[in-house]
Structure formats: C-alpha cells, structure tokens
C-alpha cells in the first residue's frame, strides 16, 4: 500500500466542489454504489483544471484544487461508515495523480470496495506498515541476535545461510509474498549434499518468518516450519553426523616434527592448538593477557568459550616456549596477523595442514587427543573431557563438583606433550609399531 494514503476531512475540500456521484446504500461499513464505474478518461485526468470532485464511479474521485499558483490533483475514495441511513462520510487519499495513474487508482479503489464487502474498514487497508523484503528482515534479525554471538564465525554462518549464496531470490521478495515453494527452492539444492548446513538454514528461515509475523508483516502459517510440513515434503537426510576429519594418534609423533619444520607463526599456532586440545577460535582470539606465564596457565574467559564457562588450560613447557617466542611479534595478540593489531585469520592453520598434505582438520586434533587419552592412558574419562572443555554429568553432578582438577590435568597435558614429541611417560602405554 502507498505511503501517501491518508484520510481527509471536509475542510480539505473547496467550499464550491461539484459532487459528481452520490454515495449510496451502505454495506456493513458502508459501500459506495453508483450509476456506473470508469466514468473518467486518462485525457480528462491529465488536462482538467476545473476545481472540485470528479467521480469515476464506485466511490473513486479525482479532487482538483488550487494550491497557490499550482493545480493539485488527488485521488480519493469516499464511503459511508455505519448502517443504513448513516450520514458520516470518510475519505481516503489514494495519492496524487502525478504518481498514481487512472488505472492504478481504479485498482486501489477496487481493493477498498473488496474490504467493504468483507466488512472491513478500507482505511485499515491503507494504514498497514510498509512490508519489507525477506533480506531486510533477515539482516535485522542477524543484527539483533548477533549481539549475543560469542565469535564472528557464528555471525558469518548466519549471513551465509540467509544471504545471497542460498537465498538470493527470496532476499529480493517482500516477506509476505514468500511461500513454501520459495523455501523449498532454496533448501533442495543443499538438503542432501550439505545436510548440516541445510538443517541450520531451515531453522533460521523459520525464525525469520516468525519475526515477520510478530512484526505484523505477514499472516498465516510459517512456510519454513518442520513438523507436519517440510518434514513430509523433503527427502530423508543421510543418517549420522559429519565428524571433523582427524589424524590418528599413532601418526602424531611423526607429524609434529614436520609441523615444526614449517617455521611460521601459523605453524606455531597449530602446534599450540594441538598441545592444548583447544578449539580454533580459542587459539586465534587469544590475547597475551590471558596467559599467566609464572603459573603456566591459560585462562580463557567465559565469553570466548562455547559453553559460556571460564576454562583453565595447564600449559606444558613447549607452550611456554611458544609464548615467549611470539612476544617479539606482538604485545597484544598471542598469534597476530601481519598487522600486529589484528589476530591471525581462521584459515592460517588449515593452510599448514594443506601444505603438509594432511587429510585432517584443525578441529579434528581434539578428537586425536581424546582417542589417545582413552586408548593409551590411565587418566579418567572425566579428566579428558574437562581438558576439551566439555560438560560432564548432569546438572546436579556439576553443581556439586566445582573443581576443574587443574593439577591432575597438568599431568595429563604434560604426558600428551611427551607423546607428541615421541616420549613415553608412566601414564602412557607404549604400542609396538606394526609394519
């Protein structure tokens, strides 16, 4: 509906206006009934300078009035409110004739008459908020919920799944004009090939449409809802979860010397990540202030952790060596980018693995550590999970167990360092190599 639609009072009309067609028998709100419609011509609309209301029929009028030295022409729709015999008339502006053609004015007048037939007030039809595009609603949602994201990677995945890469067509459409067909068109290309991305994308689409409904931009059922809807329209996805590719722990003692030979900041960052069993984002975003060198502890604050809980990491001797070596590159970040004011990018460590031709991901080394701890050591399971910053046990158990067993975990991380460097400790079972 146009922005310039508004109600007019009788004082807006010239005192000597000519009323071309009376407003007749009302419906529930009052329905304009005339002796015909489409009474005006486009030429008359363009050329007339006669002041007054000129009827096109069916409640549509062209109001011509002087404003200083200029002639103003405005489309009106007039109707009566109330039951039979009601005398109060209401007028709605449908816009100036310079912006709204005769044909467009007739369409809008038809919408007003349809509203009257439904028992609605036509004025409500023209006072609805402007309907934004899907892209505008999605971007605003990301801006709002993004304030609670703990890292930039999460924001990037939201922008990717709701952006032009997957939703280019929908982003240009008004949010109230999108249906199930458009949602399926966006989901189907990735539903089977990238199931995890597709599932998250559908959840975020559903949330965008929920926001639009709450804001009054659309009515009806959510076109991206799952249960009893898209669930019966989309094929079954492959079972299981795609795990990060991990290097078998047996190959770690052979891999680490190759990694150290790269002699780069990104290689040091990857070595740090492996020795601490940390997540990529925890390593990359670490300022030097998080490391207590004297206590040999890395304290990652809650806002940078996945579980939103502070995580203490006991540091082995090699980590302290890396910490000292990195001091000459930056006083702020543990692993800086070329610009020391910025931290290293997320792809730097992955590029190290690519250069070494290793079929694994950076995150996969957490699985490598967990397999080593479970298969080769006598350290308790709970200790290994704590080293990975995983929550162990139910809420009641976690409530009573407040300690993070830092001292005991230090022994485990020192043993892990020794294993990575090809040494065997008392807690590690040695396996003979099988050719």
Phi-psi category of residue 47: left, alpha or beta, with phi > 0 → left and psi -120 to 50 → alpha? alpha
How many helices and strands, by DSSP H and E, does the chain display?
17, 8
Q: Look up residue 239 and give its two tokens.
A: 């079972």
Point out which residues pair with 7 in neighbouring strands: 92
Q: Which of 70, 43, 40 shows the shortest CA–CA distance to 57?
A: 40
The answer to pTM > 0.85 is no
Pairing state of beta strands 60-67 and 297-300? unpaired
- The secondary structure element, H or E, covering residue 138 is helix 134-145
What phi and psi, each to the nearest 5 degrees, are found at residue 292? -95, 100
| pLDDT digits (tens), the chain, 435 positions | 444 444 444 444 443 333 333 333 333 344 444 457 889 999 999 999 999 999 999 999 999 988 777 888 999 999 886 655 555 788 888 888 988 899 999 998 998 888 888 888 887 766 666 789 999 999 999 999 988 887 777 888 999 999 999 999 999 998 988 999 999 999 999 999 888 899 999 999 999 999 999 888 888 889 999 998 999 999 998 765 556 788 999 999 999 999 999 989 999 999 999 999 999 989 999 999 999 999 999 999 988 888 788 999 999 999 999 999 999 998 899 999 888 888 888 788 999 999 999 999 999 999 999 999 999 999 999 899 999 988 765 565 554 455 668 888 999 999 999 999 987 555 555 444 433
**Domains of the chain, each with CATH number or no CATH:** 6-125 (3.30.160.390), 134-232 (1.10.150.130), 249-420 (1.10.443.10)
């Amino acid at each position: 509906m146009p922005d310039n639609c508004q109600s007019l009072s009788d004082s807006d009309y010239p005192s000597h206006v000519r009323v071309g067609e009376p407003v007749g028998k009302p419906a529930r709100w009052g329905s304009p009934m005339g002796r015909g419609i489409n009474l005006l011509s486009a030429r008359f609309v363009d050329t007339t300078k006669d002041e007054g209301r000129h009827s096109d029929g069916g409640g549509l009028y062209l109001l011509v009035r002087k404003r200083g030295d200029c002639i103003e022409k405005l489309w009106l729709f007039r109707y009566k409110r109330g039951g039979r015999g009601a005398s109060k008339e209401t007028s709605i502006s449908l816009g100036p004739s310079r912006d709204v053609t005769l044909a467009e004015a007739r369409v809008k007048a038809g919408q007003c008459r349809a509203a009257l037939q439904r028992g609605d007030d036509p004025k409500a039809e023209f006072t609805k908020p402007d309907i934004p595009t899907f892209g505008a609603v999605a971007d605003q949602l990301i801006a709002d919920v993004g304030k609670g994201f703990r890292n930039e990677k999460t924001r990037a995945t939201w922008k990717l799944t709701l952006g032009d890469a997957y939703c280019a067509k929908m982003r240009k459409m008004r949010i109230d004009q999108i249906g199930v067909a458009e949602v399926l068109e966006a989901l189907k290309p990735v539903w089977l090939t990238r199931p995890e991305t597709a599932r998250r994308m559908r959840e975020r689409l559903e949330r965008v449409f929920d926001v639009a409904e709450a804001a009054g931009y659309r009515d009806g059922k959510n076109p991206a809802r799952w249960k009893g809807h898209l669930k019966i329209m989309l094929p079954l996805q492959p079972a299981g979860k795609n795990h990060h590719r991990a290097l078998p722990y047996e190959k770690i003692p052979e891999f680490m010397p190759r990694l150290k030979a790269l002699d780069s900041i990104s290689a040091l960052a990857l070595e740090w990540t492996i020795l601490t069993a940390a997540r990529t984002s925890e390593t990359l975003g670490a300022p030097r202030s998080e490391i207590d060198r004297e206590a040999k502890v890395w304290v990652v604050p809650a806002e940078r952790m996945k579980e939103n809980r502070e995580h203490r990491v006991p540091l082995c001797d090699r980590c302290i060596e890396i910490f000292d070596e990195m001091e000459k590159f930056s006083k702020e970040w543990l692993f800086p980018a070329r610009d020391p004011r910025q931290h290293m990018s997320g792809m730097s460590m992955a590029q190290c693995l690519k250069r070494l031709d290793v079929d694994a991901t950076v995150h996969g080394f957490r699985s490598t550590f967990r397999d080593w701890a479970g298969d080769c050591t006598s350290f308790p399971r709970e200790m290994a999970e704590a080293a990975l910053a995983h929550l162990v046990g139910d809420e009641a158990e976690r409530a009573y167990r407040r300690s993070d067993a830092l001292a005991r975990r230090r022994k485990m991380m020192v043993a892990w360092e020794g294993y990575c460097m090809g040494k065997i400790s008392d807690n590690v079972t040695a396996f003979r190599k099988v050719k």
